[in-house]
Amino acid sequence: MKREFPELAYLLSCVEEEFGRKPITSGDFDELTAAVDEKISQRLSTSTLKRLWGYISPSPRPRIVTLNMLSEYIGYRDFQDFCDHLHDSESYSSLFFTARTVFSRDLKKGDTLKIGWAPDRMLDLKYLGDSLFEVQDGGNSHLVTGDRFYKSEFFLGKPLYIGKIIRGKIETAAYVAGKSGGLNLLKVSSKQ
Q: What pLDDT digit, counting tens, does each position of 76-88 carry? A: 999 989 888 876 6
Question: What is the per-residue pLDDT across 98-116, written as a single tens digit (0 to 9) for each?
Answer: 568 899 999 999 999 999 9
d(CA 88, CA 123): 39
In the chain, domain spans: 6-93, 101-189
- SS3 at position 170: strand
Average confidence (pLDDT) over 7-16: 87
Burial of 103 (0-12, 13-18, 19+ CB in 10 A): exposed
pTM for the complete prediction?
A: 0.53
d(CA 153, CA 155): 7
